[in-house]
Structure 1
């Protein structure tokens, strides 16, 4: 058994698609649009086969501020400490917030935590 994909509601689907394509090398399917439900989605596929579905619907526009129950973050392993530092630096230089790290965590990960365009947390791990 494996997780087939995870999904997240977003406010700006095109901005989020571009972010994950640019920084995390996601490949993207064609936009799915359901005019009756006013629903749009993309499946983003990463090099190891993991998939993230980004979805938007006009009536879903608010999230949970700060810490709340539910999903906390998504983590991407980039293969080395140097790559963690390089990607973190690139994201910060391009205006995205780094909320933690790069550092070695208490459970032994070398990681940084950055925010995507809609402030969802992304761990970038070794």
Structure 2
């Protein structure tokens, strides 16, 4: 088994698509629209392969009650590999310069990862790993 894709409800579908394309080199399929349900989505594919990310939007989906800086049960983050420690540092600095929150500075973790943690435009936690 493998994880085929993860999905995130988003408020601004185009802004989120642009974010992942710009900073993580994702490529998007054509926008899927179900006019009956008022549902739209994109599947984002990353250059190194692995699981895809589906970003979805539909009227009536309430905002999450989770605080992005606190920890709660359920999915709390996903990790994207930058390929090297230098790439983690560079991407983290680029995101910080462009105004995105860095909530975990680049560091070596106890389980051996070199990572930073940032928040995407809708405050989803992303680990950037080497």
Give the TM-score band, short-chain normalised.
over 0.9
Partner of 1:59: 60
Runs of at least 5 residues in structure 2 that lack an aligned partner in the other structure: none
TM-score after normalising by structure 2: 0.93
Find the aligned partners of 1:27 and 1:79 in 2 and give their Cα distance.
18
Q: 1:108 aligns with which of 112, 116, 128?
A: 112
In 2, the alpha carbon distance for the partners of 1:10 and 1:47 equals 22
Q: Where does residue 83 of structure 1 map in the other structure?
A: 87
**Structure 1 match to 2:78:** 74
CA contact (8 A) 1:11 1:61 kept: no
Residue by residue over 1:6-36, the C-alpha shift from the partner in whole angstroms, topping out at 9 and shown as x without a partner, is 1110111100000000000001011101111
1:45 paired with 2:49, answer: no
What TM-score results when the alignment is normalised by the length of structure 1?
A: 0.96
Report how many residues are paired: 126
* C-alpha separation in 1, matches of 2:66 and 2:5: 24
In the TM superposition, what whole-angstrom CA distance separates every residue of 1:71-92 from its partner, at most 9, and x where no partner exists? 1101011111100000000000
Distance in 1 between the 2:109 and 2:21 partners? 27
